[in-house]
Amino acid sequence: MTGPDAAPSFRIAYVPGVTLGKWTRIWRERLPQVELDLIPVAAADAAGLVRDGAADVALLRLPVDRTGLHAIPLYTETTVVVVPKDHLFAAADEVSTADLADEVVLHPVDDTLDWAEPPGRPAVHRPATTAAAVELVAAGVGLLVVPQSLARLHHRKDLTYRPVSGPPESRVALCWLEDDTSDLVEQFIGIVRGRTVNSTRGRPATPAPAKPAPKAAKTAKAAKAAKSAGGRKQQKAGPKRAKPRRRS
63-86 pLDDT, tens digit each = 889 999 999 999 999 999 999 999
Instruction: Judge contact between 92 and 154, C-beta under 8 A.
Output: no
Instruction: Judge contact between 49 and 41, C-beta under 8 A.
Output: yes
Instruction: Judge contact between 104 and 142, C-beta under 8 A.
Output: yes
Average pLDDT over residues 166-170: 88
Average pLDDT over residues 137-164: 97
Residue 196 has what pLDDT? 81
Average pLDDT over residues 95-121: 94
Question: pTM of the predicted model, to two decimals?
Answer: 0.74
Residue 215 has what pLDDT? 54
Residue 75 has what pLDDT? 94
Proportion of the chain above pLDDT 70, given as a percent: 77
177-211 pLDDT, tens digit each = 999 989 999 999 999 999 887 664 444 433 444 44
Residue 165 has what pLDDT? 93
Residue 195 has what pLDDT? 86
More confident residue, 246 or 30: 30
Residue 8 has what pLDDT? 86
The model's confidence at residue 218, banded by pLDDT at 50, 70 and 90, is low
pLDDT at 55 over 90: yes
The model's confidence at residue 229, banded by pLDDT at 50, 70 and 90, is low
The domains of the chain, with CATH numbers, are: 9-76+171-192 (3.40.190.10), 77-169 (3.40.190.10)
The model's confidence at residue 167, banded by pLDDT at 50, 70 and 90, is confident
**Which of 52-56, 128-132, 159-163, 211-215 is predicted least confidently?**
211-215
pLDDT at 92 over 60: yes
More confident residue, 153 or 4: 153
pLDDT at 221 over 90: no
Three-state SS string over the chain comes to: CCCCCCCCEEEEEECCCCCCHHHHHHHHHHCCCCEEEEEECCHHHHHHHHHCCCCCEEEEEECCCCCCEEEEEEEEECEEEEEECCCHHHHCCCEECHHHCCCEEECCCCCCCCCCCCCCEECCCCCCCHHHHHHHHHCCCCEEEEEHHHHHHCCCCCEEEEEEECCCCEEEEEEEECCCCCHHHHHHHHHHCCCCCCCCCCCCCCCCCCCCCCCHHHHHHHHHHHHHHHHHHHHHHCCCCCCCCCCC
pLDDT at 22 over 90: yes
Average pLDDT over residues 167-176: 93
